Amino acid sequence: MARNSRGKRPCSICRKWFLPDVRQKGRQTTCSPDCKRERHRRQCENWNKKNKAYFKNNYLGKKLEKNVDQQTASTSRIMPLTRKTKPVLPIEIIATEYGIKPAIIIQYIVCLR
Ligand SMILES: [Zn+2]
């Protein structure tokens, strides 16, 4: 444990010196609830950056799985996915020309922008 865990320490967010709550020996790194929120936000941001690729892959994989199961169904079934952004690509043509998988991948890439 730090030599001065019960004394003043600098806030990890705003760098102001503060006196940590004695009930949280050595654990408190921020001076106020606002800084605590900011610290949490930054940690989440870092975590998201690190895990972004994982989630993207996971999301795409699941989407593919789901749609391959429905491959026998009409291509209009994947149309609701384009609702967020205006469809730039003629998804039905891509699906018929290249198959459902490339169509989903293209749609996915287009929607990311
Ligand atoms: Zn602070």
Residues with CB under 5 A from ligand 1 (ion): 11, 13-14, 31, 35
For residue 18, what pLDDT band results from cuts at 50, 70 and 90? very high
* 19 Cα: distance to centroid of ligand 1 (angstroms): 11
The predicted pLDDT at position 12 comes to 93
* 48 Cα: distance to centroid of ligand 1 (angstroms): 23
Closest listed residue to residue 82, CA positions, set 56, 109, 50, 102 = 109
Whole-angstrom distance, CA of residue 56 vs CA of residue 54: 5
For residue 67, what pLDDT band results from cuts at 50, 70 and 90? confident
* C-alpha distances out from residue 107 to 66, 70, 74, 88, 113, Å: 15, 17, 16, 9, 11
